[in-house]
Structure 1
Amino acid sequence: MSASLHDNIGLIPVLGVSAQLTSTRLRCNTSVGTPFWMAPEVIACEQQLDSSYDVRCDVWSLGITAIELADGNPPLTDLHPMRALFKIPRNPPPKLHQPELWSESFNDFIAICLIKDFEHRPTISDLLEHPFIRQIQGKEKALQKQLMELIDLHQQMGTIEKTRHERIHTKKGQGMKSNPISNLVNTDDLATLEVLDENTVTEQLQKRYSEEQIYTYVGDILIAVNPFQKLNIYSTEHSRQYIAAKHTANPPHIFAVADTAYQAMVTYNSDQCIVISGESGAGKTESTHFLVEQLTVLGKTNNRMLQEKILQVNNLLEAFGNACTVINNNSSRFGKYLEMRFTSGGTVMGAQISEYLLEKSRVIHQAPGEKNFHIFYYIYAGLAQKNKLAHYKLSKGQPPRYLQDEKITMMEEIVTNYFYKVQFEALEQCFKVIGFTLEELGNIYSILAAILNIGNIEFTSVVTEHQTDKSNIVNLEMLENASSLLYIQTDELQEALTSHCVVTRGETIVRPNTVEKATDVRDATAKALYGRLFSWIVNRINTLLKPETFQSDDADSTDKGANIGILDIFGFENFKRNSFEQLCINIANEQIQFYFNQHIFALEQNEYLNENVDARLVEYEDNRPLLDMFLQKPVGLLSLLDEESRFPQATDHTLVGKFEDNLKSNYFWRPKTVDLSFGINHYAGKVLYNASGFLAKNRDTLPADIVLLLKSSDNKITRQVVTHPLTKSGNLSHSRGKGATVPRVRTPQHATNHSKTCLQEKRQLQMPLKKSATHNNLRNSFRLPQATAEVDNGDSALNPRETTNMKTQTVASYFRVWHII
């Protein structure tokens, strides 16, 4: 680089930027250059009239070139040049991709070249005194010889063509395209296509899919098309190939997403997040597996047991939280946020899981063609193989009520199923590796077996001269089995199922339950036990995977590290018959879609407008009005559902009528020929919902008599799942009720129902996303907020009234209080 001055006019040929200096201060405010090498102050001149720069912009370009020589590409080369123009002024100064491979003096040389404030950046003359430059004095001829040898070597190896975006050169804020470098007919990045419409995208994806190329980039996003077969692209060799590699160096891959998040976390010491979204059956769960596997490789640690524990977590949660549906044999029936924790040096040191919206209703009822949670089939087959069915009071004859379907008529079809046996063995290995004790394992099996026996309890009406609405238990053997497995008194369980307490004017009155009421109590008990057991398992996993620095709660710890989170929620669903569960799932997906729209379209385009960038705006469908229809108060769909749930005489018919009278929106419609149904125009298409059972599922009531009875259990886990308080989103807290130090949530008794729990949990998913900054692959630096627990202060013991969902707070109220739209 050189500079010549004549009559106060200088012409500076530089790396990527050329300018004319017209002032006596040797500064300019015009530029022509290539974005990747442009200094922040040069880019600022494009939009800020009072900005200027001097010859020290060459020093920045020199630092970028040094990185290019070491890494093979300049920083941000994976981005479109126009996006690089926005990233360079906002991002921290770039560094070498693997600084540990280079000398300390070279790293320091790059660091001082890339000081963002050019007033503090050294000049070329200053750089000549840097140790990295001074060390070559007297060695010029030897270095020249080495360089010539390297040139000859590379000429023998041949030229490697790189696929890059079209070059854009800037001049006074205008974009000028140069000739395209590569043929974009079959590209691995759809953002490089000149024509980008729906047909082009689908044709490209279909063509790549036919060639078993299931991964495709769209700028910062990775599209994964489910191949429904095993592909040989996840081997150890492939894993190594994507470690610390540029996106352009390898074909698109899920491993590249993991590496990008990991490198960003280590480089900037900031939390990252990978958001996985898609319809049910799209392969989100498998993608999560691959991400976790690659992140454990990247965060290599000497503690092999920790790595194995983290890898086993997904398998364990799938057994308890996944089930077979009509379109997916391994469908996630809960939302999951897995947060892997790393040291500042990038070594994995632990993990934490948050679970959302477990579909508890599946325990007691499955739609035609669907099954219960995997775990029930696994333990039946596994315990049968171990000859332990009798120990857990499980029969080999007729299937339990909760496992009956048109395909399973005899238990022989379950206990002889080879796949179930293999999965049970794998499940026990998961428990062992993660660190569960044999006692805990036995207690878990007891609760699961108790749930199946509870479902087999049958009731009959007792008609006497003065009593016509009393119920009695027909099969006392099932009652005894359930009480034995839960370690509670049989007569007390019978009383809790067939009667309830009412407090009137300070006097407690015991009233009998009808058969219908007793059946509801039975099913509610089964759902509550399973939901709380699932939360207990998640909490136990978190305890066993908690980093030692967090175990000790050392506030003075200097290395707090950083996290990489993976958000995996259930996919959008549209079945032949859609019920309350599908509505909750689809509202959650609407929230994720809104987040996607905001960060991919709205915020980016607002940035263009604020920076006066002449860019064509992309049209997209904003689903905010639909979310308003769901979430607004007092006439949003969930508010109306809560309101109707408070009326004892309300029915599903009156609920649908209330929807029709109040939801005046193009997104809501009522079919004329289908009773008890309503339709929603979701972002993914029209969905027809059957409102039968909406109110019952939303209320999700459980009598306090059952709660008090379970608290008296001699089974440690059974006692814990009802003694520990619930978080605001209805999950089990780590702390005990009376010992909890978190504040009590002041929510009216009548407002506690499942729709609010649904809404509150979805709100927990969205709040951190809103606060975080967007990075590649929909990654965002965020951490889920600490759950606030509601402390059980023992009121029910003094006033045994009916409670709702064991004091669970609801999602609807949470969304309305913390509205993010």
Structure 2
Amino acid sequence: MVAVFAKRMDQSDYHRGCSLLSTVFQSSVGRRNGIVLVAINPYRECDIYGENIFNLYRNANVRQLDPHVYGVAEEAFAYLTRHDRNQSIIISGESGAGKTVSAKYVMQYLAEACSVSLKERHCDKDVEKRVLASNPVTEAFGNAKTVRNDNSSRFGKFIKLLFSSQYSMCGATMETYLLEKSSTIYIADAPNNFRYLSKGKCLEVADVDDSLKFVETLKALRLNDDLLRQIFTILSAILHFGNVNFSSSSSDSCDISMGSDHFPIFCSLLEIDLTSLRHVLLHKTLRAGGEILNRHLDSVQAINGRDSLAKLIYSLVFSWLIDMINKCLHKNSGASNELESNLKFIGVLDIYGFEMFDKNSFEQLCINYANEMLQQQYNQHVFKLEQAEYIKEGIKWSFINFCDNQPCLDLFENRLGILDLLAQECKLSKASDVNFWSNMSSRTNDTCSKSAYFHLPRINIAPGQFIVRHFAGDVVYDVDGFIEKNVDSVNVDQVEVLRNSLFKQSLHELRRTLNATTPHYIRCIKPNDKKLPFNFCVLRTVEQLRACGVLETIRISASGFPSSGKYEFGHTKIFFRTGQVALLETARTEKLRKSAITVQKTVRGFLARKRYLRIISAVSTIQVFGKAWLCYRFDS
């Protein structure tokens, strides 16, 4: 996302919020709301990220400048150096709102800002080059073109930029979440395979050509030609494997169609024994007592096995690539695992946005669940902790109601909730999507049936649909394919279903990490659903602002304290109205500037006087010896 930013939002009246947004946003593409930057995707390249803009925000009081992604990055870096506390920049929004591009510019700014000397600047440039080079690579392997977004992230990533004690960047780490493996095999109404397919130009985006950048960044990550050849060999094999078809030989068995060379080519590329793989694809091994039985698979089961194997191979390639990137980002950083825990970091979270399509499946459920958890973290920091602090300190405060999404998270996580029921169903030998749906919709299930966030469509033509009331709106999910997508049949005996999955655990670990940092928020907004440049839909924008809690945040910022004063004394703290700290910071900066000038002129005056006295002394000495020499000469 590239954006132009306007004046601060937190000084406006909440009751005129919607009309203010609808008028101001038509002439700009962003606002500042307290700790939240609201950025709108203009769907067009804008020249607002050059060196002159960087210099404008570097070491500046960003609250006195126009809100900008650089301003958020500068504020995070200033907090890091001033308070020596880990920071996080949480970038959220719907799919296609511009989160990934915003994250790229944040990292670019931080890599430049941490330079403090020419030597360190050279080192930082090397780290910056590797950090930024990871973006096109991860986008190529983890992004896809969807209905709403030409470059949609089908995975989440949390990048920790590591800083030394002198606050120069010395490395980075990348953690990824929930790669949407189904994009390896499925093509829906719109092309949504991973972008590595577009390298062959079968899928193109207007005015975008990143093929050269992709190859250059692979080399910047120090992946040699042999490794690149191996990667593309595996990708080519997956493409061939997807074209392998099965024909039914009887009602309960099938065989590989022999009309093409895709299967032999796949085996040749991966150096797999053709006969052994053919047996694995067409049979299922059963263990009964001490006996091992081979059962024939029908064509549908064989296709599911083929797709599961393709997804597994692709996910392994992606995981290996992330490991290689992390090794490259650590290389020459001088940060061992033991020392890394002592390093401070600024985390940049770029995670898939809230999704709602005509047909929403297992992937959308996981993505929206992750967004619910991030929204809860936002609510906790902005609303719950803030207002609890006012009450604790005895500040007179009218409690502001906000949309707490904890009940929605309970619907997912509690016993007999959505994830628990899905876990139980996946453990059954004859698991089915219909049974999973029946268990959710049963009136005996209090977790779902009595939740205000779960209900069934009023007109239900066929079993299989349910509605979850998310913070961003109601989403209708279709359970068709839930079991298959949650349990890759290639490893069904050892599957870790979602209830106890690494995905859920990693999300909770991510939330703990974010809670231990000072957060900064960037809320990315889509101005329209047609991806038209500078085309603004007021209702669509206000809907997103309300869903992500920005309007409630405006209300807290605008309300301040009930008194008309600029500050309020608590029991142990002084609370300032929004904007007052920035004024104090400006006064402090001005005082430091004047003090620095006073110190400089005093020292310079002292040095000048000392130099002057040395010169006078030297001149006197020269005069004495000169006069003595002249007297000696005349006398002689």
What TM-score comes out, normalization by structure 2 length? Answer: 0.75
User: Which residue of 2 is the match for residue 800 of structure 1?
Assistant: none
User: Which residue of 2 is the match for residue 96 of structure 1?
Assistant: none
Percent of aligned positions with the same letter in both sequences? 32
Aligned ranges for residues 288-299 of structure 1 at < 5 Å? 288-299=103-114
Aligned ranges for residues 507-518 of structure 1 at < 5 Å? 507-518=291-302
Q: How many residues align?
A: 506
Shift of the alpha carbon at 1:462? Answer: 2.0
Match of 2:188 among 354, 358, 367: 367
Whichever residue aligns with residue 668 of structure 1, its letter is F
Shift of the alpha carbon at 1:551? Answer: 5.7
Shift of the alpha carbon at 1:547? Answer: 5.0
Q: Distance in 1 between matches of 2:101 and 2:252?
A: 54
SS at match of 1:601: helix
Aligned ranges for residues 699-778 of structure 1 at < 5 Å? 699-703=487-491, 749=494, 751-752=496-497, 756-770=501-515, 772-777=516-521
Distance 1:263 1:488, change over 3 A: same
Match of 2:303 among 519, 526, 544: 519
Contact persistence 1:462–1:472 (CA under 8 A): no
Q: Distance in 2 between matches of 1:574 and 1:612?
A: 43
Match of 1:342 among 163, 166, 170: 163
Shift of the alpha carbon at 1:196? Answer: 1.0
Match of 2:478 among 690, 704, 709: 690
Match of 1:302 among 118, 122, 128: 122
Q: Distance in 1 between matches of 2:440 and 2:75?
A: 46
Distance 1:211 1:470, change over 3 A: closer
Q: Distance in 1 between matches of 2:45 and 2:429?
A: 53
User: Which residue of 2 is the match for residue 491 of structure 1?
Assistant: 275
Distance 1:688 1:554, change over 3 A: closer
Aligned ranges for residues 289-688 of structure 1 at < 5 Å? 289-300=104-115, 301-303=121-123, 304-378=125-199, 380-381=200-201, 422-463=209-250, 468-475=252-259, 477-546=261-330, 548=332, 550=334, 552-553=336-337, 560-633=342-415, 635-661=416-442, 662=445, 663-664=448-449, 665-671=451-457, 672-675=459-462, 676-688=464-476
User: Which residue of 2 is the match for residue 231 of structure 1?
Assistant: 46
User: Which residue of 1 is the match for residue 17 of structure 2?
Assistant: 201
User: Which residue of 2 is the match for residue 100 of structure 1?
Assistant: none
Shift of the alpha carbon at 1:606? Answer: 0.6
User: Which residue of 1 is the match for residue 576 of structure 2?
Assistant: none
Distance 1:238 1:426, change over 3 A: same
SS at match of 1:328: coil
Contact persistence 1:502–1:509 (CA under 8 A): yes
Distance 1:775 1:359, change over 3 A: closer
Distance 1:615 1:537, change over 3 A: same
Q: Distance in 1 between matches of 2:261 and 2:85?
A: 58
Q: Distance in 1 between matches of 2:520 and 2:262?
A: 55
Unmatched 5+ stretches in structure 2: 116-120, 524-636
User: Which residue of 1 is the match for residue 27 of structure 2?
Assistant: 211
Q: Distance in 1 between matches of 2:229 and 2:496?
A: 37
Q: Distance in 2 between matches of 1:554 and 1:684?
A: 41
User: Which residue of 2 is the match for residue 149 of structure 1?
Assistant: none
Shift of the alpha carbon at 1:423? Answer: 2.5
SS at match of 1:572: coil
SS at match of 2:160: strand
Q: Distance in 1 between matches of 2:473 and 2:227?
A: 45
SS at match of 1:548: coil
Distance 1:455 1:753, change over 3 A: farther
Tell me how large the CA RMSD over aligned residues is: 2.5
Shift of the alpha carbon at 1:316? Answer: 1.2
Whichever residue aligns with residue 667 of structure 1, its letter is Y
Of the structure 1 ranges 215-224 and 505-514, higher mean CA displacement relative to structure 2 is found in 505-514
Contact persistence 1:356–1:761 (CA under 8 A): yes
Q: Which has the higher contact order (CA 8 A, sep 6+)?
A: 2
| CA deviation map 1:742-791 (0-9, x unaligned) | xxxxxx94654588344233223223224x15455489xxxxxxxxxxxx
Q: Distance in 1 between matches of 2:500 and 2:190?
A: 26
Whichever residue aligns with residue 756 of structure 1, its letter is S
Distance 1:553 1:758, change over 3 A: closer
| CA deviation map 1:120-149 (0-9, x unaligned) | xxxxxxxxxxxxxxxxxxxxxxxxxxxxxx
Contact persistence 1:521–1:703 (CA under 8 A): no
Contact persistence 1:324–1:370 (CA under 8 A): yes
SS at match of 1:574: coil
Distance 1:452 1:444, change over 3 A: same
SS at match of 1:545: helix
Whichever residue aligns with residue 11 of structure 2, its letter is T
Q: Distance in 2 between matches of 1:703 and 1:602?
A: 43
Q: Distance in 1 between matches of 2:363 and 2:336?
A: 40
Q: Distance in 2 between matches of 1:292 and 1:553?
A: 22
Of the structure 1 ranges 361-370 and 570-579, higher mean CA displacement relative to structure 2 is found in 361-370
Shift of the alpha carbon at 1:468? Answer: 4.5
User: Which residue of 1 is the match for residue 547 of structure 2?
Assistant: none
User: Which residue of 1 is the match for residue 68 of structure 2?
Assistant: 253
Shift of the alpha carbon at 1:549? Answer: 5.2
Distance 1:434 1:345, change over 3 A: same
User: Which residue of 1 is the match for residue 86 of structure 2?
Assistant: 271
Q: Distance in 2 between matches of 1:758 and 1:493?
A: 30
Q: Distance in 2 between matches of 1:632 and 1:316?
A: 38
Which has the larger share of helix? 2
User: Which residue of 2 is the match for residue 190 of structure 1?
Assistant: 9
Distance 1:481 1:632, change over 3 A: same
Q: Distance in 2 between matches of 1:324 and 1:240?
A: 35
What TM-score comes out, normalization by structure 1 length? Answer: 0.59
Q: Distance in 1 between matches of 2:301 and 2:308?
A: 10
Contact persistence 1:215–1:224 (CA under 8 A): yes
Q: Distance in 1 between matches of 2:14 and 2:167?
A: 38
Whichever residue aligns with residue 495 of structure 1, its letter is H
Unmatched 5+ stretches in structure 1: 1-185, 382-412, 705-747, 780-821
Shift of the alpha carbon at 1:673? Answer: 2.8
Q: Distance in 2 between matches of 1:684 and 1:523?
A: 32
SS at match of 2:193: coil
Shift of the alpha carbon at 1:517? Answer: 1.6
SS at match of 2:309: helix
Q: Distance in 2 between matches of 1:619 and 1:359?
A: 36
Whichever residue aligns with residue 685 of structure 1, its letter is G
Distance 1:692 1:236, change over 3 A: same
Contact persistence 1:215–1:223 (CA under 8 A): yes
Contact persistence 2:170–2:334 (CA under 8 A): no
Q: Distance in 2 between matches of 1:547 and 1:207?
A: 50
